[in-house]
Structure 1
C-alpha cells in the first residue's frame, strides 16, 4: 500500500526529531558545561515541541483515518497492523496535549536537572525545591489532559507502564511488602555478614578493566554502544545503532560500578536486540519501563550476582586486585556481596530491601499528586518513611530526596513503579528461559551467556514495542504477573546466606 510507505517515511522524520532530543539529553548528562543549562533547556523544549507537532499534525490524522481500517484487515500480529495501531494510540493521546505545554515542560526539565546536580553536590534541597514545585504543577496539568483517568497518577504511570494503574499497583506493592518486611526481620536474627573485603581501595582504571572484560562476555556489541560516566547511571538510545550507557565508579567499593554497568547493559542488550525492521518507528523501543527493568535486573541480579557467575569471574577479579582479594575465598566474597542491611540509597540496596525503596517513592508520588504532601515537606516525609519502613535515619538530603534523578528530569509520577515490576518479571522470565534450556546455569558458570541471550532476544528483545507487556509475558512464560517466583527466588537464595530466613 503506497500510503503505508508514505506513513513510514513520515514516522522516520518524527523519530529523527526524537533522536535529537535524546542526543541533547545524553550530552547534558555526560559532557555539557554546566553554564549552558538554560540554553539546553530551550533546545530540548523547542525540539520537543516540533516532535509533538509532527505527531499531531492533521496530515497524520488523515493518514491514520485511512490506515486504521486497512490495518484491521491484516494479521493482527503483523508489523504493519501493530505499527498503525501503536501510532493511532499515541496520536489519540498526543492530541489532548498542547504543543506549547510540551515545549515549556521539557525546557523546564533541562533546567531542573542542572540545578539538581548542584543541589545534590551542595546537599541543599532549597536550591531545587522551587523548580520541583513547578514540576509538580506540570505533572498535575499533564494528568488534567486525561479527565477520564481514575487517579491523577494514572496518566503519568501510563506514559511508561501502559496498563498499570494505581488500583493494580497499590495492592500488588502492599502484598509484596507483607512478604519482605518479615524476611528483613528474620535476617536481623542471623549473624551479620562481613563486608570488609568489598570496602577497600579499588582504583578506577582497574575496575574499568574488569568491567570491560565482563561486558565482552555478555556479548555487548561495541560497534553500536559506548559507556561514559554520569552522576546517575542510565541507558539511552540515540538512534537505531547508537546505544549509550553510563556508569559511576566508587574507588572504595568494588561492586558498585560493576553492577551499575551490568544493569545498564541489560537495558542496552534489550535495545540492541530489537529487530531492524522496527527501526525509525515508535516500535523501536522497549515496551514498558517494567519490562525494560526486568532485563536490567535479570542481568544484574539473577546473572551478575549468581554463584555460577562468580565461580567463573572471581579468579579473574582476584588477578586484577591481588592485594585486595588474593587471599579472600570466593565464598567470603559471595556472602559479602549478599549482605542484607537496610540503607539510605536505593541503587546500593540489597535485593531484599530494594523494593521498599521503590514503594516509598511510589507512595510519596501519590501523596504529592493528590495534595496530601507539599514539596516543602518532602524531605521530612522522606525521613519519616525511611525510619518507619527501613529503620534507617536519613540525615542529609543528598542521601534522601536528592539521591535519584527521576523527579528532577521528568514528571513527578510514574517514575519508579517499573523497578519493582521489573524485579518481579525478571524471575518469571528467567525461570521460563531455564525451563526451555536447562543448560543455562551450567553455561553461566563457564562464562557463557549466549543461550540465555538468544532466548531473551527471541522471546522479548526482537519485538520491541510490537506487543504489549502482558502479551509478551504470556507468550514467553504462559503466566500473568505474579510475585510468587520472585519471593521464591529471594527466599531460596538468601537462606544460604542467612539460615534464620524461613519459607513464608
Structure 2
C-alpha cells in the first residue's frame, strides 16, 4: 500500500508539472507571444494536453486508485490522503470518459480560436471568428455527450463548479434577477453621479505603481508573484512560488486598471494561501470557480469599493495624482467609484448591474448548447438581450459579443455562472469573517487587512480543493449558500448612496 501511494503521488506530480508547462504557454500566449507563433502554439498545447490525458487515464493509474480505496476508507474523512484519493478518483472517472483525440482537437481549436478572437476584436468583426466558434460549440456538445446528464450544460458546469446543475443555477438566477431589477430601476431613475473625477488622464505608470503599492498591503507577495498586461485580465498559477496576475490600463479611467488589479489579487491571495504541502497534487488549487470568484469580488468590491478602504487610501491617491484629485472630496470619489450605470461591458459594470451581464451570457450559452440559437445569430441575440435587460445595446461587436474571452479560449458552457455565484458567496464569507472578528471594519479604515486575510486563509484558502465548494461554504459560514445576505448588502449600500443622500 505504501509503494502504491508513493507511485500514485508521483504520477500526480508529473501531471501537475505538465499542466504547469501548458499554463506557462497559455500565459505567454495572452501576454507577450508574437502573432506569428499562433499555429505552433496550438500544436504545442495539443501535444502537452494529450500527455496530460494519457498520464491521467492510463489503466495503471486507475488500478492504483482502486487499490488505494480501502486505505482511503480507513482514514478520517478530513484526512489529506483521503481527500487526495477522493479528488483524484473523481478526476480520473471524468477524464476517462473523454477520448484522447477529443482532448487534442479541443486544445488545438482553443488556441486557434483565441488568436482568431484577438484579430476579430481588433477589427471589430465577429465574422472573423464565427467559424472557429462554431467548432467550439460542436466540441462543447461533444464533450457533454461523453457523460450522462439532465441538461446538456451540466457536464460543462461540473468542470468548474462541481455538483452544480443548470436547473439549480437557473433557479438561483431567477431569484437574483427578481431581486435586482426593481432596485436597478429605482437607482437608475435618480440623478446620475458625477464620475468626472475618475475619468481624467491618469498616466499608466503612475496607475500601476499605486495599484501595486495597495495590493502589497492587501497581502500580495511579489516574491512569489508578478503583474503583467493582457487584453483580458486574469490570474494564473504555475507553482506555489509562481502566481501571476495581469491587468489592463485606460489612461482616462482610473477604475479600469485599479479594480482589475485588486480583483486578480483576490484570486492570487486564494492560491498563495493554499497549504504548500498540497503542491503537485489536485488539492493545490481553489475548490471551484464560484468560491474562487467570491474571493476576487470580496477584495475588489466589499473591501476595495468601501468607504472605509478609501478613508485610508484616498489621501495617498491624492498625493499620487494631485492635479487630478486635489479638489475632489473623499465622498465624491467614493460615489464615483460606486456609480450605477446601464453599461455594455461586464468587467466594467457596477456591483448592482454586474449580475445581469452574467445572466445574459449564461442564458445565451444554454440556448446555443440546446440548439435554440446558432452562432451566426449570436451577435444579434446579444444586442437584443442587452436592450431588453439593461436598456442599452452596442452597435459594435467589440463591445458586444467579442468583449469576453471565455467562449474563445475554452468551451461554450460552464464559463460564466461562477461570477454571479461568487458575488453571492463574497458577502456570505465576509459576513462570517466580521461576525468572528467585528474589528475588521475599523481595521480596513486604518489600512490593516491581516485579520480578514488570516480568517480567509484559515477558513478557505489553506484547504485548496481538499473540500468541495459546498463543504467549504458550510465549514466557513455554518450555512449552505444563501442569496439573502448579498441582496441585503446591495440594497443597503445603494440606497445609502442614491436614495438617502448620505
TM-score, length basis structure 2: 0.99
2:313 is matched with 313
1:23 is matched with 24
Superposition map of 1:28-427 within 5 A? 28-146=29-147, 148-427=148-427
3-state SS of the aligned residue for 2:198?
A: coil
2:456 is matched with 456
Q: Matches of 1:59 and 1:162 in 2, distance apart?
A: 26
Q: Matches of 2:94 and 2:307 in 1, distance apart?
A: 46
3-state SS of the aligned residue for 1:180?
A: helix
Q: Matches of 1:188 and 1:101 in 2, distance apart?
A: 47
Q: Matches of 2:477 and 2:300 in 1, distance apart?
A: 20
| Preserved CA contact (<8 Å) 1:190 1:500 | no
Report the CA distance between 1:500 and its aligned residue: 6.8
Report the CA distance between 1:358 and its aligned residue: 0.1
Q: Matches of 1:189 and 1:469 in 2, distance apart?
A: 38
Q: Matches of 2:14 and 2:198 in 1, distance apart?
A: 49
What CA deviation, in whole Å up to 9, does each residue of 1:119-164 have, x standing for no partner? 1011000000000000000000000000x21000000000000111
Q: Matches of 2:281 and 2:423 in 1, distance apart?
A: 28
3-state SS of the aligned residue for 1:399?
A: coil
1:498 is matched with 498
Q: Matches of 1:173 and 1:424 in 2, distance apart?
A: 11
3-state SS of the aligned residue for 1:431?
A: helix
Superposition map of 1:480-499 within 5 A? 480-499=480-499
TM-score, length basis structure 1: 0.98
Report the CA distance between 1:69 and its aligned residue: 1.7
Q: Matches of 1:221 and 1:342 in 2, distance apart?
A: 36
Which ranges in structure 2 are unaligned for 5 or more consecutive residues?
none
Report the CA distance between 1:59 and its aligned residue: 1.1
3-state SS of the aligned residue for 1:15?
A: helix
3-state SS of the aligned residue for 2:413?
A: coil
| Preserved CA contact (<8 Å) 1:187 1:500 | no
| Preserved CA contact (<8 Å) 1:240 1:280 | no
Q: Matches of 1:189 and 1:375 in 2, distance apart?
A: 35
What CA deviation, in whole Å up to 9, does each residue of 1:281-329 have, x standing for no partner? 0111000000000000000000100100000000000001100001110
| Preserved CA contact (<8 Å) 1:427 1:489 | yes
| Preserved CA contact (<8 Å) 1:190 1:498 | yes
List structure 1 runs of 4+ shifted beyond 2 angstroms.
none
| Preserved CA contact (<8 Å) 1:189 1:500 | no
CA RMSD of aligned residues (A): 0.9
Report the CA distance between 1:270 and its aligned residue: 0.2
| Preserved CA contact (<8 Å) 1:41 1:111 | yes
What CA deviation, in whole Å up to 9, does each residue of 1:382-412 have, x standing for no partner? 0000000000021100000000000000010
Report the CA distance between 1:209 and its aligned residue: 1.3
